[in-house]
Chains A and B, each alone.
Chain A
Amino acid sequence: MSSHTGQSPGRPPRSILPWLATPALVVFVGFAVVPLVGVFALSFTTWDGIGTIHGSGLDSWRAVLTDPGLPHALWVTFLVMAVSWAVQTPLSILLGTFLAGRQRYRAVLGVVYFIPLMLSSAAIAIAYKALLDPNFGLGAGLKLPLLIQDWLGRPGLAFGVVVFVVSWQFVPFHSLIYQGGVQQIPKSLYEAAQLDGAGRVRQFFSITLPQLRYTVITSSTLMVVGSLTFFDLIFVLTEGGPGDATRVLALDMYKRGFQAGLMGPASVIAVILVLVGLALALLLRRLGGRDAGASQLEGA
Chain B
Amino acid sequence: MTTTLPEARRPPEAAERGRPHRSPRTTGRRNWAGGLAGWLWLVVVAVPLYWTLITSLKAQSRYYAENPLVPPADPTLDNYRLVIESDFVRYFANSVVVTVGAVVPAVVFSFMAAYAIVRGPRMRVLRAMNGLFLMGLAIPLQATVIPVYLIIIKLQLYDSLLALILPSVAFAIPLSVLVLANFVRDVPKELFDSMRVDGAGEWTTMWRLAAPLTRPAILTVTIFNALTIWNGFLLPLVLTQSPQRRTLPLALWTFQGQYGVNVPAVLAAVVLTTLPVLILYAFGRRQLLSGLTAGFSR
Q: Which residues of A contact B (CB under 8 A)?
A: 1-2, 4-11, 15-18, 20-21, 23-25, 27-36, 38-39, 41-42, 49, 53, 91, 94-95, 97-102, 106-107, 109-123, 126-131, 133, 136-138, 140-142, 168, 171-173, 176-177, 179-180, 182-187, 190, 194, 199-200, 203, 208, 214, 218, 222, 225, 228-229, 231-232, 235-236, 250, 253-254, 257-258, 263, 266-267, 270-271, 273-274, 277-278, 281, 293-297, 299-300
A21 lies within 8 A of B113 (CB): yes
Report the Cα distance A4→B169, complex, angstroms: 27
Q: Which of B70-112 contact A (CB under 8 A)?
A: 105, 108-110, 112
A9 lies within 8 A of B142 (CB): no
B146 lies within 8 A of A98 (CB): no
A270 lies within 8 A of B146 (CB): yes
B29 → A minimal CB distance (Å): 5
| Residues from chain B with Cβ under 8 Å of A8 in the complex | 199
Max chain B C-beta neighbours (<10 A), residue from A31, A98, A183, A184? A31
- Which one, B64, B120, B173, contacts A28 given CB within 8 A? B173
Question: Chain B 109-135 against A: per-residue CB contact (8 Å), 1 yes, 0 no?
Answer: 110110111011001011001001100
| Residues from chain B with Cβ under 8 Å of A11 in the complex | 196
B252 lies within 8 A of A122 (CB): yes
B249 lies within 8 A of A229 (CB): no
B113 lies within 8 A of A176 (CB): no
Chain A residue at smallest Cβ distance from B199: A9
Report the Cα distance A173→B170, complex, angstroms: 24
| Residues from chain A with Cβ under 8 Å of B270 in the complex | 123, 126-127
| Residues from chain B with Cβ under 8 Å of A179 in the complex | 2, 5
B113 lies within 8 A of A20 (CB): yes
A184 lies within 8 A of B2 (CB): no
Q: How many residue pairs at the A-B interface have CB separations less than 8 Å?
A: 387
On whether A186 and B23 interact (CB within 8 A), knowing A20-B116, A112-B46, the answer reads yes
Number of interface residues of B (CB under 8 A): 126
Chain A residue at smallest Cβ distance from B172: A296
Instruction: State whether the Cβ of B12 lies closer than 8 Å to any Cβ in chain A.
Output: no
| Residues from chain A with Cβ under 8 Å of B266 in the complex | 126, 130
> What secondary structure prevails in chain A residues at the interface with B?
helix
Report the Cα distance A42→B154, complex, angstroms: 15
Report the Cα distance A121→B201, complex, angstroms: 45
Chain B residue at smallest Cβ distance from A126: B256
| Residues from chain B with Cβ under 8 Å of A114 in the complex | 281, 285, 289
B126 lies within 8 A of A17 (CB): yes
Q: Which of B174-214 contact A (CB under 8 A)?
A: 174-175, 177-178, 196-197, 199-204, 206
Q: Which of B248-270 contact A (CB under 8 A)?
A: 248-250, 252-253, 256, 261, 263, 266-267, 269-270
Report the Cα distance A281→B238, complex, angstroms: 27
| Residues from chain A with Cβ under 8 Å of B67 in the complex | 141-142
A35 lies within 8 A of B144 (CB): yes
| Residues from chain A with Cβ under 8 Å of B228 in the complex | 299-300
- Which one, B45, B51, B123, B227, contacts A113 given CB within 8 A? B45
